[in-house]
Amino acid sequence: MHVNENTPPVAAREHTVESFTREFLRELNFSQGVDLDRASDNDKYLALAKTVRHYLMTRWLETLRNQYRDQAKTVAYLSAEFLLGPQLENSMLAADLDAIATESLRNLGVDIEVLRTVEIEPGLGNGGLGRLAACFIDSLATLNVPSIGYGIRYEYGIFRQTFVDGKQVEKPDNWLSLGSPWEIAHPENAVEVHFGGRTEAAVDGAEGSRAWIPGWHVMAVPYNYMVPGYRNGRVNTLRLWSAKATQAFDLQIFNSGDYEEAVRAQTVAENISKVIYPEDSTPQGKELRLQQQYFFVAASLRDFLVNVLPADYPLENLPDRIMWQLNDTHPVIAVPELMRILIDEKHWDWDKAWGITQQVFAYTCHTLLPEALEVWPTDLLGKLLPRHLEIIYRINEEFVEKVRAAYPGDELRVRRMSIVADEPVRAIRMAHLATVAGSHVNGVAALHSQLLADKVLADFAHMWPEKFTNVTNGVTPRRFLRLSNPKLSGLITEAIGDGWVTDLSQLRGLEPLAEDAEFRRRFREIKSANKVRLAGVLAKRDGIELAGDGMVDAMVKRLHEYKRQSLKLLHIVSLYEGIKSGRIPLESVAPRTFVFGAKAAPGYVRAKETIELINAVGRTINADASLQGRLKVAFPANYNVTLAEVLIPAADLSEQISLAGKEASGTGNMKFALNGALTIGTDDGANVEIRKLVGDDNFFLFGMDEPAAAALQDSGYRPGDFYEADADLKAALNLLASGHFTDGERGGAVSSMFASLTERDRFMTLADFRAYVDAQASVDAAYADQEAWSRSAVLNVARSGFFSSDRSIQDYLDRIWKAKPVDQNS
Ligand code: F58
């Protein structure tokens, strides 16, 4: 029960330095059990976090109360990943407590900046997909949309990357080791999740129903996280599930006297939420991963139907109350789960259940790589979820009938579209299931959605064109401009007011200022200050030095061949080779630091070799006195959200150089442009839209576009021809292969990369090399004119307002969810 209906919220009641200090000290004394003078930084951080949390708590309770009262349509964002980033700063910003907290702590002799560095960010995601989910829940809250995020509380997040002799070595990310003040566990609301066993005929069941007799169970314990809107009184919920062994299960084995077995059973159950799979694009098809998926989805559906909906809610009206957004195929097992509940538990007949199910799910696809589309062998699925497999078969039977009716005699098409694949093993194609069941299917950038409809899911788009739509990704301006770049934020606010924080399109108001020399000077001053900040962080964190106050050229993203970090590496090697051989005069090269940030999936050998080579080349270049510090390679280990927030505001150049037609969207590209970096990029993913908006003059486009790349591939691409035809390319590759960067070592990573690029080159790196190197030369020339460069940079900021995740969410609301904001204060 809350204190009193009429009690004003804490934030409104006592928003003062004195009250903040009182709360902080109370937390320190009564929660941490220490006095200020004996408190560790961790004690102080935890006390600060809990004090901030208190201020948001009243709003949270209010939001939940209103939600229950209003019964408005809710968006449930189902995602196996939420890459949240540090929580303290975002909570203080949302609650408008930054200034008060800073002053309060200063009065106590505590430096808040030090406390900020104590926080270990929850790395509950791999990369873009997980970070997008985090941006989306921020925007949902800020736009006042009733919504809830559902996911997994991994005990270990994405691995901590270290380098040993330049090679990636993974360490466990024990992010909970010092306690997390941002979560509230509710073991009393745990939900049972079933696995395995068999099915049998249902007694008195409805048409299509069967009884599932599961073999084992685990408990899903909810941990709630606050998702505060930006100063709008709304605090939504992110509910992450943690696996716990059921008592009954343990007790049964325990009573049989087998203590070891009882403990082992507990471990098996609790393994489910132990660790996130560190894959970036190729799903491994491991049983534990399917367990994770069903675990969080089953718990989330049950939670919504039982705890969020009123007990007497007529499920026929479900589409008025809920939209389940499927973040890629990872949560798609929710589809047969809802069917199972409606048919086997609620005794609905099949058609009625299917009619409702098709209205409450929508599917977002995040890839174009065929190998990234999840497929589950029926053996595995049937063993773990026998009833769900039966339901999927029936969904497929009816679907296949529809295809036959629409395309009589076209059995090839039926085979292509079937949810069940027969080759190489019988398996369920999760993207097909999602497309058949979803009310909508969307890609994440205009080009991606186009290619989905034309290529990856072409048969489906032909049959149901109205299902397919685009929602271009976005990023939250709160975290990726307001928080991460306070100086630029201040300058913008001074110029156009602070409305941009929640309406990023207002950045357009900066356009005329691109012509204002004084504004540009201040913009440059801020960029330099951000570089100093970056240099400080990298020096302390990694012992890395930057190239004077030269250009910061950044390529940060997961390591994958299609993203082509190897192309960037070839450019660096070619530049170095050119300088050393006298082909390129050193004075003509603008001082630059090439910054890399990239984790490789632990089993992805080629990606790990690329890391090794970047580090090897970096070591040689950084140690070469003849370069007079003009070129540096900085590859800080363990790139994460925390580091992104320091790097992105300091960058001049953003590298977005994937092979056209392979990167679904990208979101780093948006963050860089928004912070005034110019992009060097291919016509891929959201780069296309960025370039259209910022203008050709303010973007370095190079390389083949998607049709050209597809045509070259179809005509029989021969990378060796490019190697032979371009002397600079040949020299760079030969230098690499000579062992120059690897202490004379010519085997291992060096020869593997040489062979891979000159023989197969799956992502046509060599074909784009010449265009890339030429574009880099224009970058150097352009950077020499700082006035023109900063004019372009300001225009990038002014024209990037479209890439706010608030706009993405508004698009989802309008095109897919048909849900409405609900004002908290009315
Ligand atoms: C990314 N996908 C896309 N997948 O590659 C990127 O273009 C896009 O901007 C972003 O999604 C957001 O839409 C991505 O990050 C994963 O990390 C999956 C994790 C789980 C296994 C399969 C890949």
Q: What is the pLDDT of residues 532-559, one digit of tens each?
A: 999 999 999 999 999 887 999 999 999 9
Q: How far is the CA of 666 from the centre of ligand 1 (A)?
A: 8
- Among 330, 366, 440, 522, the one annotated catalytic: 366
Q: Is 667 a catalytic residue?
A: yes
User: What's the pLDDT score for residue 3?
Assistant: 37
Kindly state the helix (H) or strand (E) to which residue 362 belongs, with its residue range. strand 361-364
Q: How far is the CA of 129 from the centre of ligand 1 (A)?
A: 4
pLDDT, averaged across the chain: 95
For the purposes of burial, counting CB atoms within 10 Å of the CB of 98, is it exposed (0-12), middle (13-18) or buried (19 or more)? middle
Q: What is the pLDDT of residues 422-454, one digit of tens each?
A: 999 999 999 999 999 999 999 999 999 999 999
Closest residue by Cα to atom 11, ligand 1, is 129
Antiparallel, parallel or unpaired: β 82-83 and 123-124 = antiparallel
- Among 560, 564, 671, 807, the one annotated catalytic: 671
- Please list the residues that pair with 654 across neighbouring strands: 554, 679
Contact (CB, 8 A) for 165 and 174: no
- Please list the residues that pair with 228 across neighbouring strands: 235
Question: How far is CA 384 from its chain centroid?
Answer: 28
- The b-or-e profile of 364-383 (16+ CB within 10 A means b, else e) is bbbbbeeebbbbbbbebbbb
Question: Which residue, among 497, 540, 528, 449, has the nearest Cα to 815 in the 3D structure?
Answer: 449
| Ligand 1 atom at minimum distance from 132 CA | 12
- pLDDT exceeds 80 at position 6: no
Q: Give dist(CA 687, CA 788) in Å, integer.
A: 22
Paired tokens of 353: 């259940």
Question: Which residue, among 148, 309, 166, 319, has the nearest Cα to 238 in the 3D structure?
Answer: 148
At 1, the pLDDT band (50, 70, 90 cuts) reads: very low
At 305, the pLDDT band (50, 70, 90 cuts) reads: very high
In the chain, % of residues over pLDDT 90: 92
- Please list the residues that pair with 47 across neighbouring strands: none
Q: Count of CB atoms within 10 A of residue 319's CB? A: 17
Q: How far is the CA of 304 from the centre of ligand 1 (A)?
A: 27
Does any ligand 1 atom lie closer than 6 A to the CB of residue 474? no
Does any ligand 1 atom lie closer than 6 A to the CB of residue 473? yes
Tell me the backbone φ, ψ of residue 144, rounded to 5 degrees: 65, 35
Q: How far is the CA of 535 from the centre of ligand 1 (A)?
A: 29
Pocket test for ligand 1, best of 279, 366, 471 (most atoms within 8 A of CB): 366
Q: Is 51 a catalytic residue?
A: no
- pLDDT exceeds 80 at position 5: no
Q: Give dist(CA 399, CA 391) in Å, integer.
A: 12
Give the orientation angle of helix 247-255 with respect to helix 259-270, to 10 degrees: 160
Does any ligand 1 atom lie closer than 6 A to the CB of residue 666? yes
Q: Count of CB atoms within 10 A of residue 279's CB? A: 18
User: What's the pLDDT score for residue 825?
Assistant: 72
DSSP 439: S
Query: Three-class SS string for 247-271?
Result: HHHHHHHHHCCCHHHHHHHHHHHHH
Average pLDDT on 32-61 reads 97
Q: What is the pLDDT of residues 174-208, one digit of tens each?
A: 999 999 999 999 999 999 999 999 999 998 888 89
User: What's the pLDDT score for residue 668?
Assistant: 99
Q: Give dist(CA 534, CA 644) in Å, integer.
A: 10
Pocket test for ligand 1, best of 129, 563, 805, 809 (most atoms within 8 A of CB): 129
Give Cα separations from 823 to 10, 60, 136, 575 (angstroms).
19, 14, 18, 56
At 2, the pLDDT band (50, 70, 90 cuts) reads: very low
- Return the ∠ at Cα 87 (arms to 81 and 89), rounded to 5°: 145
Tell me the backbone φ, ψ of residue 752, rounded to 5 degrees: -65, -40
Question: Which residue, among 483, 551, 490, has the nearest Cα to 519 in the 3D structure?
Answer: 490
At 248, the pLDDT band (50, 70, 90 cuts) reads: low
Does any ligand 1 atom lie closer than 6 A to the CB of residue 501? no
- Please list the residues that pair with 211 across neighbouring strands: 200
| Ligand 1 atom at minimum distance from 372 CA | 22
At 264, the pLDDT band (50, 70, 90 cuts) reads: confident
Q: How far is the CA of 668 from the centre of ligand 1 (A)?
A: 12
Paired tokens of 131: 């970070």
Q: Is 476 a catalytic residue?
A: no
Q: Provide the H-helix boundaries in 633-667.
A: 641-647
For the purposes of burial, counting CB atoms within 10 Å of the CB of 434, is it exposed (0-12), middle (13-18) or buried (19 or more)? buried
Q: Give dist(CA 326, CA 323) in Å, integer.
A: 9
Radius of gyration of the chain (CA): 27
Q: How far is the CA of 164 from the centre of ligand 1 (A)?
A: 27
Does any ligand 1 atom lie closer than 6 A to the CB of residue 126? yes
Does any ligand 1 atom lie closer than 6 A to the CB of residue 243? no
**Contacts (Cβ under 8 Å, ≥6 apart) of 296:** 78, 80, 150, 151, 152, 220, 241, 331
At 283, the pLDDT band (50, 70, 90 cuts) reads: confident
Does any ligand 1 atom lie closer than 6 A to the CB of residue 374? no
User: What's the pLDDT score for residue 672?
Assistant: 99
Q: How far is the CA of 363 from the centre of ligand 1 (A)?
A: 14
Antiparallel, parallel or unpaired: β 427-429 and 592-597 = unpaired
Closest residue by Cα to atom 9, ligand 1, is 666
- One DSSP character per residue, 688-723 reads HHHHHHH-GGGEEE-S--HHHHHHHHHTT--HHHHH
Paired tokens of 69: 């009262």
Average pLDDT on 352-370 reads 97
Paired tokens of 303: 């939670």
Kindly state the helix (H) or strand (E) to which residue 117 belongs, with its residue range. none
Closest residue by Cα to atom 17, ligand 1, is 280
Q: Give dist(CA 554, CA 551) in Å, integer.
A: 10
Average pLDDT on 471-491 reads 99
- Among 429, 520, 558, 807, the one annotated catalytic: 558
Q: Count of CB atoms within 10 A of residue 179's CB? A: 12
Paired tokens of 819: 């849900």
Contact (CB, 8 A) for 451 and 615: no
Tell me the backbone φ, ψ of residue 437, rounded to 5 degrees: -85, -30
- One DSSP character per residue, 780-803 reads HHHHH-HHHHHHHHHHHHHT-GGG
- pLDDT exceeds 90 at position 348: yes
Q: How far is the CA of 126 from the centre of ligand 1 (A)?
A: 8
Tell me the backbone φ, ψ of residue 805, rounded to 5 degrees: -65, -15
Does any ligand 1 atom lie closer than 6 A to the CB of residue 85? no
Contact (CB, 8 A) for 162 and 107: no
Contact (CB, 8 A) for 1 and 7: no
Q: What is the pLDDT of residues 369-408, one digit of tens each?
A: 999 999 999 999 999 999 999 999 999 999 999 999 999 9
Q: What is the pLDDT of residues 111-163, one digit of tens each?
A: 999 999 999 999 999 999 999 999 999 999 999 999 999 999 999 999 999 99
Amino acid at 446: A
Does any ligand 1 atom lie closer than 6 A to the CB of residue 151? no
Paired tokens of 659: 């092979």
Does any ligand 1 atom lie closer than 6 A to the CB of residue 449? no
Q: Count of CB atoms within 10 A of residue 346's CB? A: 14
Q: Give dist(CA 507, CA 800) in Å, integer.
A: 8
* Sheet of strand 699-701, all strands in order from the earlier edge strand to the far edge: 631-634, 592-597, 551-556, 653-656, 678-681, 699-701
Question: Which residue, among 399, 275, 381, has the nearest Cα to 337 in the 3D structure?
Answer: 381
Antiparallel, parallel or unpaired: β 216-228 and 235-245 = antiparallel
Q: Does the pTM of the predicted model rise above 0.85?
A: yes
Q: How far is the CA of 623 from the centre of ligand 1 (A)?
A: 36
Q: Is 558 a catalytic residue?
A: yes
Q: Is 671 a catalytic residue?
A: yes
Q: What is the pLDDT of residues 52-85, one digit of tens each?
A: 999 999 999 999 999 889 999 999 999 999 999 9
**Contacts (Cβ under 8 Å, ≥6 apart) of 74:** 67, 146, 147, 148, 304, 308, 321, 322, 323, 819
- Please list the residues that pair with 556 across neighbouring strands: 597
Does 486 sit behind a cis peptide bond, omega within 30 degrees of 0 on the bond before it? Answer: no
Closest residue by Cα to atom 6, ligand 1, is 666
- Among 472, 667, 679, 742, the one annotated catalytic: 667
User: What's the pLDDT score for residue 252?
Assistant: 64
- Please list the residues that pair with 428 across neighbouring strands: 376, 420
